[in-house]
Amino acid sequence: MFESDLCPAEELKDERGILKQKRDRTCISSVISKQFLFIKQAKTFSDAQVYCRQFHGDLASVEDTADFSRLQAVVSGVTDPGVWIGLKRGELHWIWSLSDRAFYREGEAEYRRWKAGQLDNAGGHENCGALDSNGEFWDVPCTNQFPFICYDGNVPQRYVYVSAGKSWSDAQTLCRQTHTDLVSVRNLDENQQLQNLVHGTPVFIGLYKDAFRWTDNSSSMIRHWSVGEPDGSGACVLHSLSNTWSDENCDQTRPFICEDGVKMQILRMKLRSGQNMDDPVMKVSVVQKIQQKLMSLGMPTDAKLQWRVQSDGEIFLPLEKDMNSQK
Domain C-terminal end among 217, 241, 259: 259
CATH code of the domain in which 91 resides: 3.10.100.10
Mean pLDDT confidence for 248-272: 81
Distance in angstroms (rounded) separating the CA atoms of residues 287 and 275: 15
Q: How many CA atoms lie within 13 A of 51 on its CB side?
A: 21
Domain C-terminal end among 226, 259, 292: 259
- How many domains, the chain? 2
The answer on 302 and 231 residing in a single domain is no
Provide the residue range defining the domain that includes 311: 2-33+262-325
Number of other CB atoms surrounding residue 327 within 10 Å:
4
Residue range 4-52, pLDDT digits in tens: 344 444 444 444 455 444 444 444 444 456 789 999 999 999 999 999 9
Mean pLDDT confidence for 263-267: 61
Looking at the DSSP bridge assignments, the partners of residue 94 are: 209
The answer on 124 and 251 residing in a single domain is yes
The answer on 321 and 219 residing in a single domain is no
Domain C-terminal end among 236, 259, 282: 259
The answer on 234 and 156 residing in a single domain is yes
The answer on 294 and 240 residing in a single domain is no
Look at residue 257 in the predicted model and tell me its pLDDT: 97
- Considering only CA atoms, give the Rg of the chain: 23
Q: How many CA atoms lie within 13 A of 244 on its CB side?
A: 8
The answer on 288 and 227 residing in a single domain is no
Nearest residue to 113 (alpha-carbon basis) of 138, 137, 148, 149 = 137
Residue range 93-151, pLDDT digits in tens: 999 999 988 899 888 999 999 999 999 888 788 999 999 999 999 999 999 999 999 99
Predicted TM-score (pTM) of this structure: 0.67
